[in-house]
Amino acid sequence: MKKIYILKKLKNTLMAFLLKDKHDGSELVLKHNTIYVLPSKMGCGFLTIAILNFILGINYQNNLILAMAYLMFVVLVLAILVGYSNMNGLTIQFKSAHSHYSPISPQLDFVINPKKDCQSLQFIYSQQTILTQEIIKKRTRLTVSLPHAERGRYAIKKFKILSQYPFGLVSVWSYMNLKHTVFVYPEQLPPKANSMNAINSGTEKGNVKLRNGTDEFEFLAIHQQGMSLQRVSWKHYAKTQQLMIKEFEDLSAEQRAFDFANLMGTTESRLSQLSYLVTQANVKGQAYSLKLDGKMFTYNKGTEHLTTCLEALSCYGDTIEDTE
């Protein structure tokens, strides 16, 4: 394991030295100093057969076999030239990153602007092909999903942009190094009744309004990614084709106090409950505070406050991954 780690470290150091800083930034123009061309696996097999044909043709003085070998070499050279031309002049711009609630993967938005028609473009991340675009004729906006579904903070580093056009004989590629961070927020999980009692006891500036252990229907809200489908108003969906969730009134308090220590369950369960609570408080326009062990987020409301709280929940326990 230690040997693998050392080899990976040496590989990353060598790549950083060779690539330097020419692949950093949110915009990349593919040209002679940012495009790399090598025979693909199939191309290497094709080249091997061409060399064998050449050797056989010389040994047996067979002009037909020699002609076939020369023709194969010409095809391979032609593939290199066409493959390079296919990628040359392509502009790739990174636009924005979108964090999501687990298990939905975070997404990145790119704009691809080809100089001419670009064929068979692939985005490879962490040795996985996450997007394949067969042909790009004009300025196109693409959204890629990263292979992260678990709660955490992920530092984005290197993308590989690859094309094996034409014939699959050559690999033409470049890199894009994005120094950005995305988050996967904890999955939303409604708190249990005993947890709600503990939360309600810490509510400030308002009286608890519970009606015989049941909540009263209050209003319909737009369904957001990560929310459970159990509270969707299917009757409303059948009429308007829009996903709306039923919101129930449980408190008339203006301010809510959410504390990790007051909740029941495992660490991940508590974080999921807090993710649900702060999101619901934001939907209702309530001010709330969040206490996460020794860290305190004071009373506030709004999208910025929600994002700050969700990012803190995502990073709880220093769950940080740097991806290559």
Whether 12 is covered by a domain: the verdict is yes
Same domain, 102 and 29: yes
Enclosing domain of residue 308? 186-207+253-316
Whether 324 is covered by a domain: the verdict is no
Same domain, 122 and 243: no
Task: With a cut of 50, say whether residue 70 has pLDDT above it.
Answer: yes
Q: Could you give the 3-state DSSP secondary structure of residue 321?
A: strand
Same domain, 180 and 34: yes
For residue 36, the domain's CATH number is 2.60.40.3770
Task: With a cut of 80, say whether residue 150 has pLDDT above it.
Answer: yes
Number of domains into which the chain is organized: 3
Same domain, 86 and 225: no
Whether 139 is covered by a domain: the verdict is yes
Same domain, 38 and 164: yes
- Give the burial string for 108-147 (b: 16+ CB within 10 Å, else e): bebebbbeeebbbbbbbbeeeebbeeeebeeeeebeebbe
The pLDDT tens digits of the residues spanning 78-136 come to 999 999 999 999 999 999 999 999 999 999 999 999 999 999 999 999 889 999 999 99
Same domain, 55 and 164: yes
The pLDDT tens digits of the residues spanning 178-207 come to 888 999 999 999 887 656 555 654 554 433
Whether 323 is covered by a domain: the verdict is no
Round to whole Å and give the CA distance between 174 and 36: 6
Beta carbons of 96 and 109 less than 8 angstroms apart: yes
Cα–chain center distance at 301: 27
Q: Could you give the 3-state DSSP secondary structure of residue 42?
A: helix
Higher pLDDT, 226 or 274: 274
